[in-house]
Amino acid sequence: MIDIHNFDFLIGKWDVVNRRLKERLTNCDEWIEFSAEMETKSILNGLGTMDEMKSSHFGNNFVGLSIRILNPVLDEWTIYWADTANPEVGLKKQVVGKFENGKGTFFGKEDYQGKVVKLRFLWIKESLSTAKWEQAYYDEANQVWETNWTMFFTTIE
């Protein structure tokens, strides 16, 4: 059954704790932590959500933009991204996937250090006021997904 409300749990304002690996696909275990704020709203009569995330970690005026659009025929979400650190890239399609049993799993590909790597996002609504996102790259050499970025969300409003 198609559920256009999969991402409705993100609508509102959030404090976000980011943790990302200092280096990816190198067996690094050193994490960098920084905070952000995010505001998400519904778009397209509920067929999508859009948010802006703001942080001083990447410079004083960093803003990231996510747009999530549901294809109701395929029951798949596509997630797009743009940010002020890389404005020349514009809006890029990142991943496609769906929710099953309350967990969203999305796959795509990304250029990383001159190589195309497999990309995975996980979205989990943990409670009414908390959520979690994870990004992973597929480590071809070791045949495993390496989680390289996590975000923990707590509602402000």
pLDDT digits (tens, 9 = 90+) for 70-127: 999 999 999 999 999 888 889 999 999 999 988 999 999 999 999 999 999 999 999 9
Give the model's pLDDT for residue 157.
64
> What confidence score (pLDDT) does residue 53 get?
96
pLDDT score at 1: 63
Domain count across the chain: 1
Residue 119, number of CB atoms within 10 A of its CB: 20
Note whether residue 65 is domain-resident. yes
Give the CATH number, domain containing residue 55.
2.40.128.20
Evaluate whether residue 16 is within a structural domain. yes
Region 54-69: mean pLDDT is 89
Residue 2 resides in a domain: no
Residue 106 covered by a domain: yes
pLDDT at 2 (0 to 100): 74
The answer to whether 107 and 145 are in contact (CB under 8 A) is: no
Looking at the chain, the whole-number percentage of residues with pLDDT higher than 90 is 86
Residue 79 lies in a domain: yes
Residue 57's pLDDT is what? 82
Q: Give the mean pLDDT of 6-14.
A: 96
Q: What is the mean pLDDT of the chain?
A: 94
Task: Tell me the two tokens of residue 154.
Answer: 């707590």
Containing domain of residue 38, as a range? 8-24+31-155
Q: Is residue 3 part of a domain?
A: no
Q: Judging by DSSP bridges, how do beta strands 92-100 and 103-112 pair with one another?
A: antiparallel
DSSP one-letter code for 11: -
For residue 100, the cross-strand partners are 103
